[in-house]
Every structure is written in structure tokens, then in C-alpha cells.
Amino acid sequence: MRFQSFFALAFLAASAAAQRVFISAPTNGTAVTPGQNITVTVTEPRTLTGATEVAVVISMAACSPICNFDASQRLGTTLYNGPYHPDPLAPNQPFENFTVQVPQSLQSGTQTVLSVTHLSLVGAGPFPFLEVQNVTLNVE
């Protein structure tokens, strides 16, 4: 019985890892200006594990003065909240671009954390998979 439980747990972990997204753009250290529109590219590597995309939330949290908080616990200002439909016909990896506006409230000379919270349903069960990915941006 223990071996079956271990196998099931390992399978679920591998399935979840296969469904992870990452932020292709902007990259860590990119300079942004308050009020500027930026394109956030959310990419999902191809996988054999079935998943149903539910949603993403794109948010920004100001750092004061440095980014030393857990970005999964404090998302900040919500810039987008809605469906996520990566293009399965993309030449390399499925992705979707989102145009969002950098909050006017951010102060020049500081940093901000851009977070993407991703929810999908994985496998035949299915089971919910939730993750938060982030990059740190420089506010000019």
C-alpha cells in the first residue's frame, strides 16, 4: 500500500510540475515607468499531461525599499484577472500576451514585484494546481 501511495504522490507532483508557467516578458530588472503600458508574456511549456486552464491574475506590489517579502502572500494591485488561453499553435511554447498598465502610485527609483498567479485543473481527476511566479522590475 505504501508503495502505491508514494507512486500516486510522485505522479501528482510530476504532473503539477509539468503544468507550471513562467513569465517570459518582462524579465528581471526591466525598467518600467508609472502609467506605462507593458506586455506581460505568460508561457507554458508543452506537456503530455492534460490540463484545463482556468485563469491568471497579474499584479504588482511596490517594494519599500527592497523586495524582501513573499510575493505569493502579498499580490498588490491587480492589473488583470481573467481567462488564460495560451496559443497551442505557437512555434515554440504556448503563450499569451497581456497588456497592462504600471500603477501610477509607484515611485521612481524603487522596485516592484510583478506576479502572475496561475490556476489550472490537472489530469483526469482533475486536481487544482495553483502557483505564483514573479519578476522584480525597476521603477524609473
* Residue 35 near residue 102 (C-beta atoms within 8 A): yes
**Residue of 123 and 4 predicted with greater confidence:** 123
Q: Which pTM was predicted?
A: 0.85
Q: What is the mean pLDDT of residues 124-131?
A: 92
pLDDT bucket at 53, cuts 50 / 70 / 90 = very high
What is the reported pLDDT for 42? 98
pLDDT at 98 over 90: yes
User: 118 lies in which domain range?
Assistant: 2-139
Q: CATH code at 118?
A: 2.60.40.10
Distance CA 23, CA 65 (A): 23
Count structural domains, the chain.
Answer: 1
What is the reported pLDDT for 33? 97
What is the reported pLDDT for 52? 92
